[in-house]
Chains A and B, each alone.
Chain A
């Protein structure tokens, strides 16, 4: 038997494994790679009657239209600003929470804090936004009642563009800080206790031990989470933004993805919206590659 025949025999002996893979791979082909193939409509004037290939090729026309449109600046600015603020404010909080949980000696308090902070993760975004709407209602929402007791006039928060980003990011923190802390808590548990002992012997206070033992111990995990976050930089939790959006806060809440939804799904402007979506995905993709390369060089941690 030749080498080649041997190899085929080896593969054939596992035919049932390939059989199992058939359905999942077909799913990936249709629902992941199918849309990637469909992305070509970004360069075409898509007409459903002619299909992906039959529609007229227009090159970069859709992109040019987007870059020169008057809302381009606003969309890019909102997307960018919400992302950067989330990274600066919402990203470090789960890390701090995990360090806090790690320092609690009373098991009951520790468990309570963990269980309570994980809970909001399981509430749907629709409900979260509904709660925001109820609490911030100018007529009898509890935030406005509290403000009222200080003599402040009711504020229609959800309709004020200047409040949008604050509300979006702070409710995100409320909902997900606990859940996001799990991974840091887990990696803190993996730090060698001898390191803490040694630091204690050297006279390090608890705060110093956090800074010099705990933080460096979870640094690789922090980097991985940061890379993953930056890889989604331009997506900014748009399903929630879509729910919080209304005509009055649009100037501050409209991001690229919500625009793609409105223009593409609601108005049926497929090619143009696909081009905008592609622009968004490409920025994400290149940011991911850049940050991954940078992290591999500087922190010796990377996704691949």
Chain B
């Protein structure tokens, strides 16, 4: 009797859990679906509240307007450039720091580690950093987008931890006894064994570059250098639909309406590259967070 009661208690628990999960999934997904649907819908019908899930009055007007806008193309191009170039620099510098610091036979590594870790807890702040970057003549150049954030200390520590815990020290020692130089050791042995962590680092850094807007906001004045996020900010939040040729065929009211649906479409266009890649890389991201959570 008591036993059957316990089983049913567990079942009720499962039902409640399933219900809560379903509610959370809906809360997270619904806004995303709304954005996509609204971007393909007739804006007038969206504003009337006719659309509640799937597109109503299917149209591609918003997307055709976006593709006519040269600012958005420039933003896209710049973002791709900053993402690729920036990530290459990130990975290069992070590896160059993480590997020597992972070597337990390196004299002075604790001092270096302290100096590096300290910057996670205290830093000069916005204004002095800006003045340093300005003093180096990087303001309004592409360098401001890639150099001031060249190393993320957290990622550096994750990578070092991986080198220390996942690559057997005996292997390195054996190679060194065979007369392998440190540089050769890094390129021939360590890096080939570190593909998972490098993949994770590429993903972390690349998403960071893709979504970053703040560096661009403070360091860039020249609009031709603006990344996509800054263009988005102007159109979505500062409401400057500059350069849009929403002319001729549309009247004033239609233009206002179209403006709304262009915003929906922009949200989609800006997020799609990351969301397309997401399912493929999701596992690696999780792995990265977990490696990071194990202290070395």
- Contact partner of A257 (CB less than 8 A), chosen from B103, B126, B270, is B126
Chain B residue numbers with a CB within 8 Å of A277 are: 125-128
B183, A16: Cβ atoms under 8 Å? yes
State the Cβ distance, A145 to closest chain B Cβ, in Å. Answer: 4
Closest A residue, CB atoms, query B46? A140
Does A64 reach chain B (CB closer than 8 Å)? Answer: no
A21-B101, A123-B271 known; A140-B260 Cβ under 8 A = yes
B112, A124: Cβ atoms under 8 Å? no
Fill in one digit per residue for B126-168: 1 if any A CB lies within 8 Å of its CB, else 0.
Answer: 1111111100100000000001101100001000000000000
Does A109 reach chain B (CB closer than 8 Å)? Answer: yes
A135, B31: Cβ atoms under 8 Å? yes
A217 to B207, CA, bound (A): 32
Closest B residue, CB atoms, query A140? B47
Fill in one digit per residue for A1-36: 1 if any B CB lies within 8 Å of its CB, else 0.
Answer: 000000100110010111011011101101111111
A285 to B147, CA, bound (A): 26
A124, B229: Cβ atoms under 8 Å? yes
Does B32 reach chain A (CB closer than 8 Å)? Answer: yes
Name which of B18-26, B194-202, B242-250 contacts chain A.
B18-26
A34 to B129, CA, bound (A): 8
Does A278 reach chain B (CB closer than 8 Å)? Answer: yes
A280 to B156, CA, bound (A): 26
- Contact partner of A260 (CB less than 8 A), chosen from B94, B103, B125, is B125
B271, A127: Cβ atoms under 8 Å? yes
A106 to B13, CA, bound (A): 13
Do most interface residues of chain B lie in helix, strand or loop, or is the interface mixed?
A: helix
A223 to B175, CA, bound (A): 41
- Contact partner of B293 (CB less than 8 A), chosen from A109, A187, A205, A243, is A187
A25-B112, A100-B17, A126-B236 known; A119-B96 Cβ under 8 A = no
Fill in one digit per residue for A187-228: 1 if any B CB lies within 8 Å of its CB, else 0.
Answer: 100000000000000000111000000000000010000000
A182, B290: Cβ atoms under 8 Å? yes
State the Cβ distance, A75 to closest chain B Cβ, in Å. Answer: 15
In the complex, 20 of the A-B residue pairs with CB atoms within 8 angstroms, ordered by the A residue number, are: A11-B107, A17-B99, A17-B100, A24-B96, A31-B132, A32-B123, A38-B131, A104-B21, A116-B25, A124-B211, A124-B229, A126-B213, A130-B267, A134-B263, A135-B31, A149-B49, A179-B289, A183-B290, A265-B218, A273-B127
Leading 8 A-B pairs by shortest Cβ distance: A35-B124, A140-B47, A38-B128, A130-B236, A24-B97, A277-B125, A124-B211, A35-B128
